[in-house]
Structure 1
Amino acid sequence: MSNKMKSKGGLGRGINDIIDYRDLSLGMNSKLAEMTRDLDIEKEPAIQDKFVKPRYIGKMAGNIAMIPIGNIQRNKTQPREKFDGKALKNLEYSIRELGIIQPITVRKISALKYQIISGERRFRAAQAAGLNEIPSYIRKANDKQLLEMALVENVQRQDLHPIEISTSYKRLIEECELTHEQISKIVGQSRSSITNSLRLLDLPEEIKIELAKRTLSKGHAKALLSISSNPERQILIMNLAISQKFSVREVEALCQKDGGKSRLQKKSINRVRALCEDEIQALDGLRLRFGAKIKLKPITGEKSDTSGRIELHYNNIEDLERLLDKLKR
């Protein structure tokens, strides 16, 4: 069988391979007129000479249009400000190999110009891959609806840090005038989850930065909210949690209220300090030598400003004997 006669399998094909545009060419003008009539967009003859018309695939593909990339502009209100360069490069390679699997969503802003609602990462990767056109769903949306759809699409991503999600919720409330209840229905989260996420924005800037860097988890941050009346204490406990690798429960214990005072206040919080560089290096060396969970507890105000204690954890008697044997050497 000749190469021309061989047909591709279903896997590894983009939309360009799946749909035969030649079968859709007949009656295209009437279909195009029918589909654009509902968009209610003013025609701009000057722009029509400048941009290439999109190729409409038709109802069999869910009214997807193959729009020239030069006709599409980015959304200035895009809630996601940073895109991972490595992930974008991987997507570019995938598009070169397989094509666009999932169309982007756009709105029409003039006769032949479009603006991205969702799918900017795919759009950027398609540009980098050298594609001339990209499959797109066209939706009607005003500026407010555009922002709402972009924000909702953003919070449903899996790779966002907690502050990005909280900021998107806040914009949905302030700029789109949605309630907590409405947001919860749109994004499929409980109302309490929306409220708790928004509370993260009340944390000190230093803690929000660590959340964005993912050096502090959302669970740790939620625990710190219980002592929101004392930002200095929140930051101090955060630094301690990061340097000592405290679990969420350990942070909760430090923040726990008891008779109007936290446990940390009873132990005199001013006596706790962050580890210095020498202590961090020593801690790494101890963990390497003993192969066990070890913590350094720095203390100030006793003998000197660099005093502290070492906690060595063991799992069972055999583990204890192993550690004792290492200590004797």
Structure 2
Amino acid sequence: MAKANKSGLGRGLNSLLGGAFEEAAPLESTPKRVLVEQQREETVVPIPMHTEPVVERQNVSRETITPMKEESIVDGESQVTIKSVVQRRTDEVPIESVSPNPDQPRTNFKREALEELAASIEKDGLLQPILVRPVGTNEYQIIAGERRWQACKIVGLKTVPVRIKDADDDQALELALVENIQRSDLNPIEEAYGYRRMMERRNLTQSEVAQAMSKGRSTVANALRLLELPEEAQQLLFEEKISAGHARAILSIPTKEGRQKLTDKLVAEKLTVREAEAIARLFSGKRNDAPTKKEPLPKMFKTVAKALKDVLHTPVKVKSSNGKNKIEIEFQDEEDLERLFEELIAAAS
């Protein structure tokens, strides 16, 4: 199993934007001057001050980069194609010409946090442009930055700075996922639905999504498993009324009925994670009752276990339960398992 990539999203927005993405310079709430790029020389163009802020739509800068290209990420025989940016530019556009993306992976915007951001924007201005794509004549759809856009609306701004990028639906979804995951802005349910939309829309496997997002396959698999929760439990996790620990306890129950029962108890009794885990064991038939007196294991079992332990140099247990017998051999990792296999072959020959 592939290990999770602890280094985070190494590719990130910079890669998806054709390797040319740069953080925008802070924009002051009362504009004093604008730098216009002309033939790679900077010219200072003063803008007259007004008694009341009057902002007209104007092009601040335009940049053209290389035509669209494709980069391949190979995973075995599979191949994921991620398209690069065609062009990007920064504009000041009317706020009403910008609309949210219905495929935006992040849907939970807390009002209190929005108001705090709005207060910051009112004081210092919007420090980073909103990433958008054109969807019509003078109409734009948000790729990343809906929270900033909502806060600007609360402030009452008439225009907002945007970075415009030509992107199709698949690119927009990928960029939104990467941007939000980099910022740790998505809750687990939002992240899971984002991965699933990528899989369905582009016919990708879990491994291919993991490659595209620079995540371990197990990370993507565990996120997608949250979508097996009862709908009510998904909503509770989405609203942060239960934790990921509660979700894991629910998923440990094999039946839908048992999962729903535990979800109901979580709501009614406000269980801790440890309490939820204990109830999950009961619903799964794994009781923690005091063990009944067991018949002692035959002497032969202990003799074989000791002999195997001496040969394999690892803990070995021989168990008997409900008329079924089994041998447990511990190993640390793939390399250790291969060593055990070679030891067994050598002992048998």
For normalisation by structure 1, the TM-score amounts to: 0.57
Pick from 200, 203, 211 the counterpart of residue 177 of structure 1.
203
**Bigger relative contact order, structure 1 or 2 (CA pairs below 8 A, ≥6 apart):** 2
- Aligned position for 1:72: 98
C-alpha distance in structure 1 between counterparts of 2:251 and 2:34, whole Å:
61
Aligned amino acid, residue 230 of structure 2: P
Percent of aligned pairs with the same residue? 36
1:159–1:145 Cα change, 3 Å: closer
Superimposed CA distance per residue, residues 164-218 of structure 1 (whole angstroms, 9 cap, x where no aligned partner): 2222221121123333223323444321121111111112223223323323211
Contact 1:75-1:117 within 8 A present in 2 as well: yes
2:140 equivalent to 1:128:
no
Alpha-carbon offset, residue 149 of structure 1: 2.4
- Aligned position for 1:263: 287
2:243 equivalent to 1:231:
no
Alpha-carbon offset, residue 138 of structure 1: 1.5
2:28 equivalent to 1:16:
yes
Question: Alignment partner of 1:55: what SS?
Answer: strand
C-alpha distance in structure 2 between counterparts of 1:53 and 1:255, whole Å:
59
Alpha-carbon offset, residue 117 of structure 1: 0.9
Alpha-carbon offset, residue 27 of structure 1: 7.1
Aligned amino acid, residue 78 of structure 1: Q
Contact 1:148-1:176 within 8 A present in 2 as well: no
- Aligned position for 2:74: none
CA RMSD of aligned residues (A): 3.7
C-alpha distance in structure 1 between counterparts of 2:34 and 2:163, whole Å:
20
Q: Unaligned 5+ residue runs, structure 2? A: 1-24, 41-55, 64-87, 292-349
C-alpha distance in structure 2 between counterparts of 1:151 and 1:68, whole Å:
25
- Aligned position for 1:46: none
Alpha-carbon offset, residue 96 of structure 1: 0.9
1:16–1:68 Cα change, 3 Å: farther
Superimposed CA distance per residue, residues 248-303 of structure 1 (whole angstroms, 9 cap, x where no aligned partner): 45544544499x94217999xxxxxxxxxxxxxxxxxxxxxxxxxxxxxxxxxxxx
C-alpha distance in structure 1 between counterparts of 2:285 and 2:256, whole Å:
15
Contact 2:90-2:161 within 8 A present in 1 as well: yes
C-alpha distance in structure 2 between counterparts of 1:238 and 1:113, whole Å:
44
1:236–1:81 Cα change, 3 Å: same
Alignment of 1:207-226 (within 5 A): 207-226=233-252
Pick from 116, 119, 125 the counterpart of residue 99 of structure 1.
125
- Aligned position for 1:201: 227
Alpha-carbon offset, residue 64 of structure 1: 2.8
Contact 2:227-2:234 within 8 A present in 1 as well: yes
C-alpha distance in structure 2 between counterparts of 1:257 and 1:188, whole Å:
38
C-alpha distance in structure 2 between counterparts of 1:85 and 1:79, whole Å:
18
Alpha-carbon offset, residue 106 of structure 1: 0.9
Alignment of 1:114-125 (within 5 A): 114-125=140-151
For normalisation by structure 2, the TM-score amounts to: 0.54
Contact 1:108-1:139 within 8 A present in 2 as well: yes
C-alpha distance in structure 2 between counterparts of 1:92 and 1:205, whole Å:
33
Contact 2:253-2:259 within 8 A present in 1 as well: yes
Alpha-carbon offset, residue 70 of structure 1: 3.6
Q: Unaligned 5+ residue runs, structure 1? A: 1-12, 29-51, 268-329
- Aligned position for 1:153: 179
Question: Alignment partner of 1:215: what SS?
Answer: coil
- Aligned position for 1:57: 61
C-alpha distance in structure 2 between counterparts of 1:25 and 1:249, whole Å:
60
Aligned amino acid, residue 250 of structure 2: L
Alpha-carbon offset, residue 124 of structure 1: 1.9
C-alpha distance in structure 2 between counterparts of 1:221 and 1:203, whole Å:
7
Number of residue pairs matched by the alignment? 229
C-alpha distance in structure 1 between counterparts of 2:266 and 2:141, whole Å:
44
Alpha-carbon offset, residue 71 of structure 1: 3.2
Aligned amino acid, residue 195 of structure 2: Y
1:23–1:153 Cα change, 3 Å: closer
Question: Alignment partner of 1:108: what SS?
Answer: strand
1:140–1:200 Cα change, 3 Å: same
Question: Alignment partner of 2:215: what SS?
Answer: coil
